[in-house]
Amino acid sequence: MARHRDTLGHFEFVVLLALMRLDHEAYGLPIFEEIGARTGRDVALGSVYAALSRLEDKGYVTSRLGAPTAARGGKAKRFFRVTDEGAREVDGVRRTLVSMWQDIA
């Protein structure tokens, strides 16, 4: 069964929530750390970056390069930010889950 390209997967949802908790703008490592701290799950940093790439393709996040730093060997960090569309998607998923959870014993 083919998935709709804009369908938000569970892990993508968690990545969006972590990014929102980090004031809507962060780079991969703090997002990875937030997910680990909040969920207790052992996730791969590469999985976080893959999800961020998919979320950017879907229009749920945008990214920008920061300034290069000497501490990173002259490499720049890529900062991610939740878009308005991404925030609406998170809210829609939350509302759906709350509605589906009602009346379950």
Chain segment 31-80, per-residue pLDDT in tens: 999 999 999 989 999 999 999 999 999 999 999 998 888 777 778 889 99
Q: Structurally, what CATH architecture does the domain formed by 10-101 represent?
A: Orthogonal Bundle (1.10)
pLDDT, residue 69, reads 80
pLDDT bucket at 3, cuts 50 / 70 / 90: very low
Q: What are the structural domain ranges in the chain?
A: 10-101
pLDDT, residue 1, reads 37
* pLDDT-above-70 percentage for the chain: 93
| Cβ-proximal residues to 75 (8 Å cutoff; 6+ apart), any chain | 68, 69
Q: Model-level pTM?
A: 0.85
